[in-house]
């Protein structure tokens, strides 16, 4: 996929049709959404902004700044009628964006989203310099540890070796943990799909049930033998559930 640039934004923009805006998580990357882009770009315009998790000013590192970035990106690209899909931290940002910009969002899809509870990094923050620790934590994100390829572990390890990047990661993770949205999300009116790994250890299944209880217009689907990133670990099942939802909602 070609990474495009426009002013300060880097993003992927593939296909034509109704817009799918994809938001990645804290350690996420554009590549996390490969299967989604391949599946949907023939019928939808799939757009993925690269969130400035590792580059934003450390004093601003948090949910508010990430939401502002998405708002500015949407304005810059002149986007509307968004079908917004967010994984983990990306789901959290998606919730905030939807509440602040209700007229721009047509539907919301959350998978392993924070916003109510999350067991960040398996209960601890990054330890710089320990490859074994990072390997263990990345594997913790998946039901099948083999999904945590050496390439993926190497990428996260290189990120956490950087002191400025590690500081931003910790600041954003703490911002997410402090921001419980139980009261706010009751106001979300758009059709909302919750796709959850039945074996999610970071945002466990009861979190999905709580989202389902609090957001008025929801559909909840679980994927077995799947942890925190269904679009990576169970791409066929994830895409089929999303496709079914979009055909009714869009």
Cα gap 229→111, rounded to integer Å: 7
- Asked whether residue 35 is domain-assigned, the answer is yes
- pLDDT at position 130 is 82
The CB density around residue 159, as the number of other CB atoms within 10 Å, is 18
- pLDDT at position 121 is 45
- pLDDT at position 123 is 43
- pLDDT at position 116 is 95
Give the torsion sign (CA, 146, 147, 148, 152): positive
Per-residue pLDDT of the chain (250 residues; tens, 9 = 90+): 899 999 999 999 999 999 999 999 988 778 889 999 999 999 999 999 999 998 999 999 999 999 999 999 999 999 999 999 999 999 999 999 999 999 999 999 999 999 998 765 444 454 556 888 888 888 888 999 888 889 888 888 888 888 888 889 889 989 998 999 999 999 999 999 999 999 999 999 999 999 999 999 999 999 999 999 999 999 999 999 999 999 998 7
- Asked whether residue 103 is domain-assigned, the answer is yes
- pLDDT at position 228 is 94
Cα gap 57→204, rounded to integer Å: 31
Q: Residue ranges of the alpha helices (H) in the chain?
A: 34-40, 63-76, 89-100, 131-139, 150-161, 163-178, 205-214, 230-233, 235-249
Pairing assessment for the beta strands 218-223 and 192-197 based on DSSP bridges: parallel
- Asked whether residue 143 is domain-assigned, the answer is no
Say how many CA atoms lie within 13 Å of 144 toward its Cβ. Answer: 10
- pLDDT at position 124 is 47
Q: What is the CATH number of the domain that holds 209?
A: 3.40.50.1820
What residues make up the domain containing 209?
A: 4-118+180-249
3-state secondary structure of 49: strand
Each residue of 194-241: pLDDT tens digit?
999 999 999 999 999 999 999 999 999 999 999 999 999 999 999 999
Q: How many domains is the chain partitioned into structurally?
A: 1
- Sheet containing strand 192-197, edge to edge, reads 4-6, 9-14, 45-49, 19-23, 82-87, 105-111, 192-197, 218-223
- Asked whether residue 19 is domain-assigned, the answer is yes
- Asked whether residue 152 is domain-assigned, the answer is no
Each residue of 92-110: pLDDT tens digit?
999 999 999 999 999 999 9
Write the CA distances from 220 to 113, 148, 170, 213, 214, integer angstroms: 13, 26, 30, 10, 12
- Asked whether residue 129 is domain-assigned, the answer is no
- Asked whether residue 170 is domain-assigned, the answer is no
- Asked whether residue 25 is domain-assigned, the answer is yes
């Amino acid at each position: 996929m070609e990474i495009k640039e426009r002013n300060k934004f880097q993003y992927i923009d593939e296909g034509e049709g109704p817009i799918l805006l994809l938001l990645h998580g804290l350690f996420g990357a554009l590549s996390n959404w490969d299967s989604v882009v391949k599946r949907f770009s023939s019928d939808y315009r799939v757009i993925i902004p690269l969130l400035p998790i590792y580059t934003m000013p450390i004093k601003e590192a948090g949910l508010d700044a990430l939401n502002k970035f998405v708002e500015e990106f949407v304005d810059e690209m002149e986007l509307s009628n968004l079908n917004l899909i967010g994984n983990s931290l990306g789901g959290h940002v998606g919730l905030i964006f939807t509440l602040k910009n209700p007229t721009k969002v047509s539907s919301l899809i959350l998978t392993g989203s924070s916003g109510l509870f999350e067991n960040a990094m398996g209960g601890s923050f990054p330890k710089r310099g320990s490859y074994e620790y990072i390997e263990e934590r990345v594997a913790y994100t998946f039901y099948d540890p083999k999904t945590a390829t050496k390439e993926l572990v190497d990428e996260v390890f290189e990120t956490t070796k950087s002191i400025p990047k590690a500081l931003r990661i910790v600041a954003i993770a703490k911002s997410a943990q402090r921001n419980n949205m139980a009261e706010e999300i009751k106001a979300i009116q758009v059709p909302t799909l919750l796709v959850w790994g039945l074996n999610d250890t970071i945002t466990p299944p009861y979190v999905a049930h709580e989202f389902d209880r609090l957001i008025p217009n929801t559909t909840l689907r679980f994927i077995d033998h799947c942890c925190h990133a269904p679009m990576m670990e169970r791409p066929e099942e994830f895409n089929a559930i999303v496709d079914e939802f979009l055909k009714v909602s869009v």
